[in-house]
């Protein structure tokens, strides 16, 4: 692994993703696990990290740049929030130092919004925005997830944002609510399904009736024999539709940069088309977070100077 110049890690609440990169940002090796915050806190953050690095044969001294919940109060070392408006330089300069005898380790801070715009925070998502900001992006970006973010980018900085608990609500409702029995055994949601489309349309048309419509999912299963697949698709569409209705109020329906991977990318793109957003440009979330961490690592560790 002599070609590896640095390591980047996206360490969240429930997952761990590590990439070994060369100076150009090419991936030389990677590791993934379910060792999120809780599991790693019990085992020891440094022990988890070094075990993954040992498995790849990474030598001591290779620096590591991290982002995500690993920098929260419950994480390894707290990386204090940077206030909006927040740009790339602010994130790099405020990266928290992690004491280690083996290597330089830094954790990027999250971003906090205060004041009249309403209190809000993000930690990890800001890194996905960095490649777009470096390329001159201006406008609105949507980052779906457990806590979906709608972000306004102006003048090369995060000017403001709003968070929607769409992913978390979806998980709670399908596993720990009266709707749960109605979706048991359901297959993954098909973004092209009529049931998903109906859910999106219902959420867009009357977001204030969300509570009523959620219970009707259970009633439809009990009385009309609605299948688990159809019920889950409607649940997903309903929650995303409600999110888009709210996002339209705070961010408008102009062009949107959609930063997403996997199933979420197709679901949100389909729903945004139905919601009438002017244009949606898709960017792969995993590529973005890796590129963002790479850009920050080059600057923070002065890698160009070290290798010159």
What pLDDT score does 38 carry? 85
Q: Please report the beta strands in the chain, taking only residues with DSSP state E, as ranges in sequence order.
A: 6-11, 16-21, 27-33, 64-67, 82-83, 86-87, 96-97, 105-107, 111-113, 120-122, 139-143, 148-154, 157-164, 256-260, 280-284
The three-state secondary structure class of 166 is helix
Residue 141 lies in a domain: yes
Kindly state whether residues 39 and 156 are assigned to the same domain.
Answer: yes
Tell me the pTM. 0.93
CA distance 197 to 234: 8
Q: CB atoms < 10 A from the CB of 107, how many?
A: 26
Residue 52 lies in a domain: yes
Kindly state whether residues 105 and 185 are assigned to the same domain.
Answer: no
Domain extent at residue 241: 165-277
Kindly state whether residues 197 and 239 are assigned to the same domain.
Answer: yes
Kindly state whether residues 122 and 214 are assigned to the same domain.
Answer: no
* Structure tokens that stand for 221 in this block: 């299963």
What pLDDT score does 270 carry? 97
Kindly state whether residues 232 and 136 are assigned to the same domain.
Answer: no
Kindly state whether residues 179 and 303 are assigned to the same domain.
Answer: no
The three-state secondary structure class of 284 is strand
User: What CATH code is carried by the domain that includes residue 256?
Assistant: 3.30.420.310
Kindly state whether residues 127 and 262 are assigned to the same domain.
Answer: no
Residue 211 lies in a domain: yes
Residue 1 lies in a domain: no
Kindly state whether residues 185 and 255 are assigned to the same domain.
Answer: yes
Kindly state whether residues 259 and 294 are assigned to the same domain.
Answer: no
Give per-10-residue mean pLDDT for the chain (308 aa).
Answer: 90 95 96 94 95 96 97 96 89 93 96 93 95 94 96 95 97 98 98 98 98 98 97 98 96 94 96 95 97 94 60
**From its phi and psi, is residue 75 left (phi > 0), alpha (psi between -120 and 50) or beta?**
beta
Kindly state whether residues 120 and 217 are assigned to the same domain.
Answer: no
What pLDDT score does 303 carry? 80
User: What CATH code is carried by the domain that includes residue 91?
Assistant: 3.30.420.300
Residue 192 lies in a domain: yes
Number of separate domains in the chain: 2
């Amino acid at each position: 692994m002599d070609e590896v110049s640095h390591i980047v890690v996206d360490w969240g609440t429930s997952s761990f993703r590590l990439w070994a990169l060369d100076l150009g940002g090419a991936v030389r090796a990677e590791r993934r696990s379910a060792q999120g915050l809780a599991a790693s806190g019990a085992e020891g953050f440094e022990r988890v990290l070094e075990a993954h690095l040992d498995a790849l044969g990474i030598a001591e001294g290779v620096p590591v740049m991290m982002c995500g919940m690993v920098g929260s109060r419950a994480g390894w070392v707290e990386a204090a929030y940077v206030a909006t408006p927040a740009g790339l330089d602010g994130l790099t300069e405020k990266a928290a130092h992690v004491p280690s005898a083996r290597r330089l380790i830094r954790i990027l801070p999250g971003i906090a919004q205060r004041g009249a715009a309403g209190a809000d925070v993000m930690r990890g998502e800001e890194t996905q925005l960095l490649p777009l900001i470096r390329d001159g992006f201006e406008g609105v970006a949507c980052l779906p997830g457990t806590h979906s973010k709608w972000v306004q980018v102006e003048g090369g900085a995060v000017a403001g944002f709003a968070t929607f608990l769409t992913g978390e609500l979806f998980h709670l409702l399908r596993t720990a609510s009266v709707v749960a029995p109605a979706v048991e055994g359901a297959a993954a949601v098909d973004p092209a399904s009529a049931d998903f489309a109906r859910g999106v349309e219902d959420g867009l048309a009357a977001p204030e009736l969300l509570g009523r419509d959620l219970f009707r999912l259970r009633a439809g299963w009990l009385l009309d024999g609605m299948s688990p697949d159809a019920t889950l698709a409607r649940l997903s569409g309903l929650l995303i539709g409600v999110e888009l209705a709210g996002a339209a109020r705070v961010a408008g329906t102009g062009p949107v940069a959609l930063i997403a991977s996997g199933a979420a990318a197709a679901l949100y793109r389909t729903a945004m088309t139905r919601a009438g957003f002017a244009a949606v440009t898709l960017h792969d979330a995993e590529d973005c977070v890796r590129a963002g961490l790479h850009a920050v690592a080059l600057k923070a560790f002065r890698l160009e100077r070290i290798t010159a």
